[in-house]
Copies of this chain bind each other. A is one copy, B any other.
Amino acid sequence: MSGNTFGKLFTVTSFGESHGAALGCIIDGCPPGLELSEADMQRDLDRRKPGTSRHTTQRREADEVKILSGVFEGKTTGTPIGLMIENTDQRSKDYSKISEQFRPAHADYTYMHKYGVRDYRGGGRSSARETAMRVAAGAVARKFLEQRLGIRIRGYLSQLGPIKAEKLDWDQVHQNPFFCPDADKVAEMEAYMDALRKEGDSIGARINVVAEGVPPGLGEPIFDRLDADLAHALMSINAVKGVEIGAGFDCIEQKGTEHRDEMTPEGFLSNNAGGVLGGISSGQPIVASIALKPTSSLRLPGRSIDVHGNPCEVITTGRHDPCVGIRATPIAEAMMAIVLMDHYLRHRGQNGDVSVSTPVIGQL
């Protein structure tokens, strides 16, 4: 299968470039009977939308999604859901210079090698603009999971450059422009970002995503483990360079007696596993963490080469996020929703609906 489809039963196939006519996707395999309207998706799209604070790009993207099919009388019909966002803020711009240069740390050089041609307007297909469709599709999955299974998926920014959130207060997450769950760190982050913007530089970030209420049993052992598919999904987000499940890299220095999550009839005593054992959900919260690199679209000049192999200096003008991680929380949530949705349907296909014939235990 081609690389623009994600999922096996709940599949999302997307199209669209940064500066093309429109972005869109087709969701195939959505169960019928789910109430769905544009508003369900718009809420998450608005959380991802640029320009909501001074800390993200000031580009205007209305990001208004339209449902073109698959919904009848307010409910999904089980047939493919076609979604589209028309591109509205395509400033006419002079691309003559950038069209011959490879911006360092961008996909320009690699697209050129792969295809022999590239759409250089705003990064074309390699632009993170594409993630809007992930968010839209994820909103459909999220709604189903919430309504039918009581699953809640939430994310937050746990680190912005050197500044780490030290508290996890879910109520704070939407009270600041960073999705930061620690109110005490917000001012520090604001100051950091203001300084960074002046400098013209960019910075990395870490996002955590948690799914609560996931029934035990989801995930296909061996290659399509739930955690492996999550890693696939999360690493496929632009700028992500690392993925952890549960204890993640900390497990390197853990002893077995420390890492293993003991069980009692009242529940698991810890969650180093991050809710996945042997590739299958355990009923504990699914916990993932990702690292996002700093954007490379900088007005500070960088050395590079042009299409003729000559050295050049590249300056990226235009409106860019100094920390792409800031807007990534809804995207990570969306990808987790899509993975869980897909695995729920896969599980139901092979094994019938999730059941509780075996004792289900929670987390103490």
Contact = CB atoms under 8 A, between A and B. Distances in A.
A263 B303 contact: yes
Interface in A317-364: 345-353, 355, 357-361
Contact of A4 (B21, B28, B124, B206): B28
Given A1-B28, A3-B219, A4-B80, 10 more contacts: A1-B11, A24-B24, A32-B351, A79-B115, A202-B256, A228-B235, A235-B243, A260-B296, A263-B303, A307-B358
Given A222-B4, A245-B241, A252-B161, A105 B259 contact: yes
A253 B126 contact: no
A6 interface: yes
Contact of A9 (B72, B269, B305, B349): B349
Nearest to A273: B105
B81 A216 contact: no
A254 interface: yes
B236 A247 contact: no
Contacts of A346: 3, 9, 349
Contacts of A126: 221, 278-279
A293 to B, nearest CB: 4
Given A2-B28, A32-B351, A303-B269, A281 B110 contact: yes
A142 interface: no
Interface string A224-243: 11011111111110100111
A33 interface: yes
Contacts of A254: 203-204, 293-294
A350 B30 CA distance: 7
Interface stretch (A45-53, A63-71, A175-183): A63-71
Contacts of A291: 244, 248-252
Interface string A247-283: 1111111111111111111000100111011111111
A31 B220 CA distance: 13
B277 A110 contact: yes
Interface in A187-215: 196, 201-206, 215
A243 B246 contact: no
A196 B250 CA distance: 18
Interface in A121-141: 124-126, 130
A interface, size bucket: 35 or more
Contacts of A29: 2, 349-350
A19 to B, nearest CB: 10
Nearest to A260: B105
Contact of A20 (B68, B216, B310): B68
A111 to B, nearest CB: 6
A315 to B, nearest CB: 12
Contact of A345 (B13, B79, B349): B349
Contacts of A229: 232
19 contacts: A2-B224, A3-B279, A3-B346, A4-B28, A14-B80, A15-B70, A26-B26, A32-B115, A68-B84, A104-B263, A116-B358, A228-B233, A229-B232, A231-B232, A236-B279, A260-B302, A263-B305, A307-B358, A307-B359
A356 to B, nearest CB: 9
A186 interface: no
Given A33-B117, A78-B114, A348-B349, A259 B293 contact: yes
